[in-house]
Amino acid sequence: MDASVKPEKLRELTSEEIAGKVKEYKTELFNLRFQNAVGHLKNTSRIREVRKTIARLLTIASEKVVTEKKEAANAE
């Protein structure tokens, strides 16, 4: 998994795909934190990258919800 995903690419994904990616990154984050606690994690900056990617995904997901609500209101 690559944490340096561009927001433009993420905006092309569907809501279900975004939810799946969030789940994948949360699992990776859990594993990274576990490895860090045990002392086996060599690249600790990866934790920060994954956290930022999760935040980016959640932001885009909320943008999609707002956009859908606006489009529904304008269609009426």
How far is Cα 24 from Cα 40, in angstroms, rounded to an integer? 21
**pLDDT value at residue 3:** 55
What domains, with CATH codes, occur in the chain? Answer: 7-75 (1.10.287.310)
**pLDDT value at residue 44:** 95
**pLDDT value at residue 49:** 95
- How confident is the model over 8-24, as pLDDT tens digits? 888 999 999 999 999 99
**pLDDT value at residue 14:** 92
The answer to whether 50 and 30 are in contact (CB under 8 A) is: no
- How confident is the model over 25-71, as pLDDT tens digits? 999 999 999 999 999 999 999 999 999 999 999 999 999 999 989 98
